[in-house]
Chains A and B, each alone.
Chain A
Amino acid sequence: MAPLFLAPALIVLALLLAYPVLYSIWLSLTDASLSAGQLDTPFSGLDNYRRLIGDKSVLAALLNTLYFTVVEVIGVVVLGLLTALLLNHPMARWSGFRVFLLLPWAIAPVANAVLWKWIYHSNYGILNSLLLQLGLIDHNVTWLGDPFRALNMVLLVDIWKSTPFIAILFLAALQNIPKTLYRAARVDGASTFEAFRFITLPSLNTAIAIAVILQTIWSLRVFDLIFVLTKGGPADGTVVMNFLAYRVTFNFLKFGYGAALANIIFLASLLLSIIYVRLMNPGAPRGR
């Protein structure tokens, strides 16, 4: 009986996930490219992977990805933790705060990207006009005009959009800490900071590890934001691995090389997923 319940879903997942992954591995071993509407797939062994190593644009994308991921993970986890601690405070119990928290997470990435393009606009953007009025800058800044600055501005938006989910995760974890621990600590004369250091933080160990892994995986996937805000520019300053794989495949129509790049991202995500799964430690089915 049980296989009947599972089989349809597993077959669909095999067709949509397992088959493409195997196909992608095979593609990466060919010099597949699209010309005149025809896909030629001459076998080329590990050539694509050898080419990856000497490719300057791959190295640049890799460095951008590393920088992007490290800053995003640190930013999101720290801000997420601070937000969760704030909203866990008795004075912040009003459910409206949690709705506010959910909003950046829920809105469509593309609409969000279009919004920030307007906020960052160099002549009429609200960011320039706010900073000018506060006296923090004395002339309009072209936020997306310089490669490294553009990368950081994209990062800022992605941190803003990603923090809520991680904060929700931490809120859930905070609410699982038994209140008696804090009561006992207060009886023992512990300060607020000591209670945080010796009860809250250790209790959040697993949640923090999970947040770091999940956010790393999600950071590797960023695409919509870069596509709308910068298209990878200026001077390829915002080209991350994911975007490079897209561009190589669907703009330059080099399917084999693109697949090799995609497989690298897949491998990184897979390793992270394995760590995540270990941390979650899902139990056997309950009941019966």
Chain B
Amino acid sequence: MAARQSILGRAGIVLALVVFVFAATGPIVWLLLSSVLQQQALTSIPPDLSPSSFTLANYLEVFSSAAQLGRAIINSLIVATFTTALAIILGAPAAYALARLEIKHAGTILLMVLAAQMFPAIVIAIPLFITASKLGLIDTKLLLILVYLSFNLPIVIWVLRGFFMGLPLGLERAARVDGASPLQTFLRIVLPISLPSLFAAAIFAFIEAWNEFFFALIMTRQTAQTVPLAISAFAGQYQTMFGQMMAAAAISVAPIILLTILLRNTILRGFADGMLKG
């Protein structure tokens, strides 16, 4: 009886896992599949998946018909890299101070950093747009680099604070006994052993910046256009070229999928835990 129940139970789990895998990956598989199928195969009902329908032409055409996309990729790389670097440079010392140093009002500052992650973009977008217009910064990469700090800096501080708190205290104590100042301890001892954590936080900030659409939509026109904008424009322009639309989407998604697979453990452990515990 118990054995039969557990066989039934096992079958149930397997079935649930199949449903889960299909639901989680199905749409993304269809995205990648559509990007390598000919228009004719995509518009037959049901879609024609015979080997002869596969092609790389969609990718070639996306790059030749949308010179914008090439520029957008370069813009996105520049914006995401610089905003990430700034977020780490500004955020790491702040995170360390919040994790280890005696600070007045540390609790309040921490709450503000946490609340800052919840800011609705629209409320800061309107004033920042007006200010940026007055300063002549609209449609510049510099503006996006700065504006993206508004969400990346709080996240980086929060995630790194969690990592720093998890470090064993021994090394820092020893450094202090040897007469090192907090700054020396931070630069010579803490940072070198935290490189993997810094890297993980950086990748996370990079993904957020790479994917960002709302601020980019408001703050850029042509020159500083980023990948999400190019994809959205492309999809609006060529809405009947399904394969090309999916190829364009796949280009923006592929690096992120790779990063996610590489960093799965950091994301799963570090980030989710950080959202649950203070």
User: Could you tell me the distance between the alpha carbons of A87 and B264 in the complex, rounded to whole angstroms?
Assistant: 15
**A52 neighbours in B (Cβ, 8 Å):** none
Q: Which parts of A137-166 form the interface with B (CB within 8 Å)? A: 160, 164-165
**B110 neighbours in A (Cβ, 8 Å):** 282
CB nearest to A243 among chain B residues: B122
User: Could you tell me the distance between the alpha carbons of A277 and B137 in the complex, rounded to whole angstroms?
Assistant: 35
Chain-B contact segment, one of A7-15, A54-62, A66-74, A194-202: A7-15
* Interface residue? A249 (CB, 8 A): yes
Tally of A-B Cβ pairs under 8 angstroms: 307
CB of B127 within 8 A of CB of A227, answer no
CB of A89 within 8 A of CB of B30, answer no
CB of B25 within 8 A of CB of A39, answer no
CB of A168 within 8 A of CB of B249, answer no
CB nearest to B236 among chain A residues: A228
A27, A164, A210, A276, most chain B CB atoms within 10 A? A276
* Interface residue? A103 (CB, 8 A): yes
Q: Which of B23, B90, B129, B207 contacts A160 (CB 8 A)?
A: B23
Q: How large is the interface on A (under 10, 10 to 19, 20 to 34, 35 or more residues)?
A: 35 or more
Given A13-B154, A109-B213, A110-B213, the answer on whether A282 and B111 have CB atoms closer than 8 Å is yes
CB of B261 within 8 A of CB of A6, answer no
* Interface residue? B142 (CB, 8 A): no
Q: Which of A23, A91, A214, A270 contacts B115 (CB 8 A)?
A: A270
**B229 neighbours in A (Cβ, 8 Å):** 110
**B211 neighbours in A (Cβ, 8 Å):** 107-110
**A36 neighbours in B (Cβ, 8 Å):** none
Interface residues of A (CB under 8 A from B): 1-6, 8-10, 12-13, 16-17, 19-21, 23-24, 27, 39, 83, 86-87, 89, 91-92, 95, 97-104, 106-111, 113-119, 121, 123-124, 126, 129, 132-133, 160, 164-165, 168-169, 171-173, 206-207, 210, 214, 217, 220-221, 223-224, 227-228, 242, 245-246, 249-250, 255, 258-259, 262-263, 265-266, 269-270, 272-274, 276-277, 280-288
Given contacts A27-B130, A172-B269, A263-B123, 8 further A-B contacts (CB under 8 A): A13-B113, A97-B20, A99-B264, A114-B245, A164-B24, A169-B272, A242-B122, A266-B119
